[in-house]
Amino acid sequence: MVRLLKTIFLWDLLQGLWVTFRNQNPKYICTEQYPSERPKIAERYRGAPRLNINPDNGETLCIACNLCALACPENLIVVGSARNEETRRKELSYFTYDTSRCMFCGLCEDACPVDALELTQDFELASYTRDGAIWDRQMLEEGPKPSKYLS
Ligand code: SF4
Ligand code: SF4
Task: Kindly list the domain boundaries of the chain, sorted by start residue.
Answer: 49-142
pLDDT at site 146? 66
Any idea which architecture 49-142 has in CATH? 2-Layer Sandwich (3.30)
**pLDDT higher than threshold 80 for residue 150:** no
Helix (H, G, I), strand (E, B) or coil at 97: strand
φ and ψ at residue 13, rounded to 5 degrees: -65, -45
pLDDT at site 10? 92
pLDDT at site 151? 61
Q: Which pLDDT band holds residue 7 (cuts at 50, 70, 90)?
A: confident
From the CB of 114, is ligand 2 less than 6 Å away? yes
pLDDT digits (tens, 9 = 90+) for 31-72: 888 888 888 899 999 999 999 999 999 999 999 999 999 999
Distance from Cα 47 to the centre of ligand 2, integer Å: 18
Number of residues that make up the chain: 151
User: What pTM was computed for the model?
Assistant: 0.79
pLDDT at site 27? 78
Average the pLDDT over 27-33 and give the result: 80
pLDDT at site 30? 79
φ and ψ at residue 58, rounded to 5 degrees: 75, 10
pLDDT digits (tens, 9 = 90+) for 90-140: 999 999 999 999 999 999 999 999 999 999 999 988 888 999 999 999 999
Distance from Cα 114 to the centre of ligand 2, integer Å: 7
From the CB of 72, is ligand 2 less than 6 Å away? no
Rounded CA gap, 120 and 141, in Å?
Answer: 12
Ligand number with the minimum distance to the CA of 116 = 2
